[in-house]
Chain A
Amino acid sequence: MTNESAAQNGNAADDKQIPSFAVKAGLAQMLKGGVIMDVTNAEQARIAEEAGACAVMALERVPADIRRDGGVARMSDPAIIREIQEAVTIPVMAKARIGHFVECQILESLGIDYIDESEVLTPADRTYHVEKHGFKAPFVCGCRNLGEALRRVAEGAAMLRTKGEAGTGDVVEAVTHVKQVRADIARAQAVLASEGEVGIRALARELEVDASLLKRVAEEGRLPVVNFAAGGVATPADAALMMQLGCDGVFVGSGIFKSGDPAKRAKAIVRATTHFRDAAVLAEVSTGLGEAMVGINCDSMRPEEKMAGRGW
């Protein structure tokens, strides 16, 4: 359990008014059923907004390029973020490195609507994620299982997403992660039913999570905050698959602007996310989309090439 004080985070609780958790988590609830798209400039941001994106993620490079270029991946240049904020009226998110609370302070000062503490960038701390309660801006974090999910919520994350495997165009890891979270929740429910609080405490030790949070999840049968799919979603069918698996919405990273016709594909993924159970609509929007991003098969990757292993 992380126990950094606000002061260690550089967030001395001075006169700054921190919005309540309900306000932070509430924006995520308003993003549900929507598609959040990675964009690298104002022009792409406008294409995303016109296609019906419910928010954009302002980046210097999309994950596929970060993966190709290698080296250290950091927070974007504020000039790019400001340019994108000026271009659109929908919420603008941006990524900070895991544990890099100063990047988060900078993003907050820019008026970013959601900070993604993201494994897609190079982690800045081997031990701690950012202590997120002390920020005015809400945070979204990645997870591969219920343990990671609840550790992030305990640190103050107001929204979750699957990690998937960003920049690959292969949805297999996102599917694995959302199913793992579901299986973990089912297990917590079974433990609560059969062994009660004692069982929950034992499971909380095993998962390394807060027992009261785990109990709440077991009682409600769902995560305490909104959970989107991310990491490898490249087609309307991928988006609908993640929605049918119970995700609340979809992040699309490289999948749109690394494809042949970004505007058309973006629109198609938005419609597929709304009408995710309507196969006739899905067939219609999947038709004639041009080339999808080439993609990388996750099974052909070496473990150290995967971004999802970053964070804990």
Chain B
Amino acid sequence: MPTLTIGVLALQGGFEEHINHLRKAAATAYPSPSPYQFNFIQVRTPSQLESSKGLILPGGESTTISLVAAESGLLEPLRDFVKHRRNPVWGTCAGAILLADEANATSTKKGGQALIGGLSVRVHRNHFGRQVESFIADLDLPFLSSSPSAEAQQPEAEVETAAAASSSSPSTPSPFQAVFIRAPIVEAILPIASESTEGGAESGASPLPVRPPVETLAVLPGRKHRAGFSRPSESDAPDAIGDIVAVRQGNVFATSFHPELTDDVRIHVWWLREVVRAVEAAADEGVGGEKTRGPVPVTSV
């Protein structure tokens, strides 16, 4: 059985909760006999990152994670992992901030903070205010209903398993209890063209692949007018839309909230399937003689 190693960045924050949820998600999405031996690891070093085929960047303090990543020689390997090799990554809360190309300067620490980037958005940190403004809200997540086009790409044997796992209503999933803790939001989606001209540290490296468009996967309606905090929202999202709290752009997925703090593993199940799909697609590409990106993702034991 091939081993599939998936990492959770463990520099600071709620990484254990993600690992626990991934274990439960694996048991749900790929029940015995599973096609893979899943190996969920804490990532603190470049070699641990190198062995991972997908990565979760957990919640925590984005300033802390960024500074410790830099000190641990992980910032550039992380950028390579996300932007060049385009492995599947998921950032929650602080992790979402780190994956953004830009953070609203009024919300970042003085002097700014280093980001990993990869997601063509601008985030606003601590959007809803301090901890006393943290909250739980029911969120509609239509992407959790099994998407037919995606399932169709799976080998037939696996469709059954997947269908059995998502036995809850296939069309409209029940709302997700989303936990927002000093949460950021996506305040603007940036033009895709801008990042291909990205210079600085990237200059000299091979050009970045062109990114697909940013998909908005979830919005929190009307919250900014209900919240009783003093700090005004700087989100440029139209009032009718609400605050953007989940997005995806190709290999990069980000949520403002913390699914790992609930008992609900649906988003972890969804993401784990996305990782498996990406790994299998990359393996096919390698076999087909296309240019290979890094090592062949699936290794036998």
A222 to B42, CA, bound (A): 20
Measured between beta carbons, the chain B residues less than 8 angstroms from A112 are 130
Measured between beta carbons, the chain A residues less than 8 angstroms from B180 are 23
Given A27-B131, A30-B13, A89-B107, are A49 and B63 also a contact pair (CB < 8 Å)? yes
Choose among A30, A53, A91, A114 the residue with the greatest number of B CB atoms under 10 Å from its CB: A30
A90/B63 in contact, CB under 8 A: yes
A137 to B133, CA, bound (A): 9
Measured between beta carbons, the chain B residues less than 8 angstroms from A108 are 132
B13/A34 in contact, CB under 8 A: yes
Kindly state whether residue A55 has any CB partner on chain B within 8 Å: yes
A20 to B14, CA, bound (A): 18
Kindly state whether residue A224 has any CB partner on chain B within 8 Å: no
Measured between beta carbons, the chain A residues less than 8 angstroms from B60 are 30-34, 54
A23/B61 in contact, CB under 8 A: no
B72/A31 in contact, CB under 8 A: no
Kindly state whether residue B110 has any CB partner on chain A within 8 Å: yes
Kindly state whether residue A19 has any CB partner on chain B within 8 Å: yes
Kindly state whether residue A152 has any CB partner on chain B within 8 Å: no
B67/A32 in contact, CB under 8 A: no
Which chain A residue shows the least CB distance to B14?
A: A29
- In the complex, identify which listed stretch (A199-207, A232-240, A270-278, A294-302) lies at the interface while the others stay far away: A270-278
Measured between beta carbons, the chain A residues less than 8 angstroms from B13 are 30-34, 54
Query: What does the 1/0 interface line of B210-246 toward A look like (CB < 8 Å)?
Result: 0000000000000000000000000000000000000
* B contacts with A, residue count (CB < 8 A): 41
Measured between beta carbons, the chain B residues less than 8 angstroms from A87 are 110
A271 to B74, CA, bound (A): 13
Measured between beta carbons, the chain B residues less than 8 angstroms from A33 are 10-13, 15, 60
B109/A89 in contact, CB under 8 A: yes
Measured between beta carbons, the chain A residues less than 8 angstroms from B63 are 49, 52, 89-90
**B interface, by DSSP: helix, strand, loop or mixed?**
loop
Query: What does the 1/0 interface line of B36-76 toward A look like (CB < 8 Å)?
Result: 00000000100000000000000111011001100110000
Kindly state whether residue A111 has any CB partner on chain B within 8 Å: yes
Which B residues between 1 and 29 are near A, CB-CB below 8 angstroms? 10-17
Instruction: Tell me the number of A-to-B contacts counted with CB atoms below 8 Å.
Output: 127
A27/B181 in contact, CB under 8 A: yes
Shortest distance from the beta carbon of B48 to any chain A beta carbon, whole Å: 11
Measured between beta carbons, the chain A residues less than 8 angstroms from B17 are 29
Which A residues between 94 and 125 are near B, CB-CB below 8 angstroms? 108, 111-114
Q: Which of A19, A26, A46 contacts B261 (CB 8 A)?
A: A26
Which A residues between 112 and 166 are near B, CB-CB below 8 angstroms? 112-114, 136-138
* A contacts with B, residue count (CB < 8 A): 41
Kindly state whether residue B94 has any CB partner on chain A within 8 Å: yes
Measured between beta carbons, the chain B residues less than 8 angstroms from A278 are 44
Measured between beta carbons, the chain A residues less than 8 angstroms from B12 are 32-34, 52, 54, 273-274
A275/B72 in contact, CB under 8 A: yes
Measured between beta carbons, the chain A residues less than 8 angstroms from B86 are none
Which A residues between 50 and 72 are near B, CB-CB below 8 angstroms? 50-55
Measured between beta carbons, the chain A residues less than 8 angstroms from B10 are 33, 274
Measured between beta carbons, the chain A residues less than 8 angstroms from B94 are 30
Kindly state whether residue A1 has any CB partner on chain B within 8 Å: no
Given A26-B179, A91-B131, are A46 and B71 also a contact pair (CB < 8 Å)? no
Which B residues between 75 and 105 are near A, CB-CB below 8 angstroms? 93-94
Given A27-B131, A29-B17, A89-B126, are A271 and B182 also a contact pair (CB < 8 Å)? no
Kindly state whether residue B135 has any CB partner on chain A within 8 Å: yes
Shortest distance from the beta carbon of A221 to any chain B beta carbon, whole Å: 14
Kindly state whether residue B258 has any CB partner on chain A within 8 Å: yes
Shortest distance from the beta carbon of B75 to any chain A beta carbon, whole Å: 13
A54/B64 in contact, CB under 8 A: yes
A33 to B11, CA, bound (A): 7
Shortest distance from the beta carbon of B176 to any chain A beta carbon, whole Å: 14
Q: Which of B11, B44, B129, B136 contacts A20 (CB 8 A)?
A: B136
**Cross-chain pairs A/B with CB under 8 angstroms, 8 sampled:** A29-B17, A31-B60, A33-B11, A33-B15, A34-B12, A52-B63, A89-B107, A89-B125
Known: A91-B61, A91-B130. 18 other contacts (CB 8 A): A20-B136, A22-B261, A22-B262, A23-B179, A23-B180, A23-B181, A24-B131, A29-B14, A30-B182, A53-B64, A89-B126, A90-B64, A91-B131, A113-B132, A271-B68, A273-B12, A274-B10, A278-B44
